[in-house]
Chain A
Amino acid sequence: MASRSEPPVPGGAAADPMIPRVARVRRRRRDAPQVWTLDLEIEDGDGTGNFAFAPGQFNMLTAFGVGEAPISMSGDPAEPWRLVHTIRAVGAVSGALARLGPGDPIGLRGPFGAGWPVAEATARDVVIVAGGLGLAPLRPALYRLLAERARYGKIILLYGTRSPDDILFRGELESWRRRLDIEIEVTVDHAASAWHGHVGVVTMLIARADFDPLHAIALVCGPEIMMRFAIAALRHAGLQDESIYLSMERNMKCAVGFCGHCQFGTVFVCRDGPVFRHDRVQHLLALKEI
């Protein structure tokens, strides 16, 4: 006979996943209209302030007194003392976060979520398709891939955004482009005549990209409409659903599977994602209002 009626609770006193650590803003940079990048450092912990994360993971950042929002980590996982986050200021919380400056305290919970399958990319061509702010959660993957360059086949970055003013991380893209071992194509929806780069949707870049569809992996992140069409173009180019990964976004209040907000069919975006292999969510992407 059991001694008590409640179920055995997993051993070990788990930390409360809803309590934020206190971090501090070190740097604040404007990347594009309404898009800001904050570098954070953690005050507590082991003293070194190191924070290990995988490319594609996110944190919940708190603007004290205002609220909390899920923000992608957009920095180099090999520099765990610099916690880089890229924020688009669209609401009360993200606006408050984007207004924080050097020295301001900020709450941090994380890292959360399943990240990009960098290990799966070994020996394959890697096609990275980014749209708008989607380049931010993909940048850590790019850092990781370029740090171990010899492990992978071709690395191709296809980046589409609204206009030349909205291009994120422009300096970094230009310096990567000067490398001989990565192909970068950037396109915008419209531009003034001073822009001599591509104008048109990013899906058109996919058709022109030269990679081996039988030995390639694609990482896709951007607005959902753009991801649907990018995936269609990747499949048209010969990629299998099991070789395509995308990062989803949904409303999140807890990031640990308790609040229920981020449900997408059978999955919780916060803990089963945000990165998903396409075959797992393919049927859900085709449904409206799911």
Chain B
Amino acid sequence: MEGLERIVKEHPFFAGLGEEFGNLVSGCAQNARFEAGQYLFHEGDPADQFYLIRHGRVALELAAPGRGALTFLTLNEGDIVGVSWLVPPYRWTDDARALGLVRAISIDAACLRRKCEADHDLGYEMMKRFVPVLVERLEATRLQILDVYGVPV
């Protein structure tokens, strides 16, 4: 457990969290490992845990009938996989597949939500870290849907 605590506290995503909050978060954390091709979660599954990638790459996909799985984003070391755990109904809205061997920290979403509810300062520290991820992905998605490289008709 101590090794995991250190890993969580030293991870850049949680930098500046401090001793007390670091312990609270680690209390919800576990190691996770996925082989190439394995799914971290599927669309519609309950968003019970989210992941912080320590090693490897993950593809976010949506499956469309007749078109197979379509990748709309790939994530790398240091990235967060899964943000739907933050908002009801706490269900995943896409598939996440390991593109090679993936080692990650998995964090129990319900556990962390409870702790944030109990201590709003912890909650605010989490929001300060997750909201920028949401904003960055929203801005990136805008460029993707505008199809800037597309051929105008």
Direct contact of A and B (CB under 8 A): yes
**How far apart are the CA atoms of A132 and B151 in the complex, in Å?**
10
| Contacts of B69-84 to chain A: CB distance below 8 A | 69-74, 76
The 6 closest A-B pairs by CB, nearest first: A132-B149, A193-B69, A162-B149, A223-B148, A199-B71, A201-B140
Query: How distant is A237 from chain B, measured CB to nearest CB, in Å?
Result: 14
Secondary structure of the A side of the interface?
A: mixed
| Contacts of B52-104 to chain A: CB distance below 8 A | 59-61, 67-74, 76, 97, 99
Asked if B147 CB lies within 8 Å of chain A CBs, one says yes
Q: Which residue of B lies closest to A35 (CB)?
A: B151
Q: Can you list 17 A-B pairs with a CB-CB distance of less than 8 A?
A: A88-B151, A131-B148, A133-B149, A160-B149, A161-B149, A162-B147, A189-B144, A190-B70, A192-B69, A192-B71, A193-B69, A195-B71, A199-B71, A199-B74, A204-B136, A204-B140, A226-B149
Contact B143 A201 (CB under 8 A): yes
Q: Tell me whether A192 and B68 are in contact in the complex, defined as CB-CB below 8 angstroms, given that A131-B148, A229-B143 are known contacts.
A: yes
Contacts of B150 in A (CB 8 A): 162
Q: Mark B128-153, 1 if CB is under 8 A from A, else 0.
A: 00000000100110011011111110
**How far apart are the CA atoms of A198 and B74 in the complex, in Å?**
5
Most buried by A among B59, B144, B149: B149
Query: How distant is A193 from chain B, measured CB to nearest CB, in Å?
Result: 4
Contacts of B61 in A (CB 8 A): 193
Contact B147 A189 (CB under 8 A): yes
CB < 8 Å neighbour of B70 from A192, A197, A201 = A192
Contact A193 B149 (CB under 8 A): no
Asked if A196 CB lies within 8 Å of chain B CBs, one says yes
**How far apart are the CA atoms of A234 and B70 in the complex, in Å?**
29
Q: Which residue of B lies closest to A208 (CB)?
A: B76
Query: How distant is A252 from chain B, measured CB to nearest CB, in Å?
Result: 18
Asked if A57 CB lies within 8 Å of chain B CBs, one says no
Query: How distant is B46 from chain A, measured CB to nearest CB, in Å?
Result: 24
Contact A203 B69 (CB under 8 A): no
Q: Which residue of A lies closest to B145 (CB)?
A: A189
Contact B71 A191 (CB under 8 A): yes
Contact B73 A131 (CB under 8 A): no
CB < 8 Å neighbour of B73 from A162, A166, A199, A203 = A199
Contacts of B136 in A (CB 8 A): 204
Contacts of A199 in B (CB 8 A): 59-60, 71-74
Query: 15 more A-B contacts (CB under 8 A) besides A189-B144, A192-B68?
Result: A34-B151, A90-B151, A132-B148, A162-B147, A166-B149, A192-B71, A193-B59, A196-B59, A197-B74, A198-B74, A200-B140, A201-B144, A204-B140, A208-B76, A223-B148
CB < 8 Å neighbour of A200 from B69, B73, B99 = B73
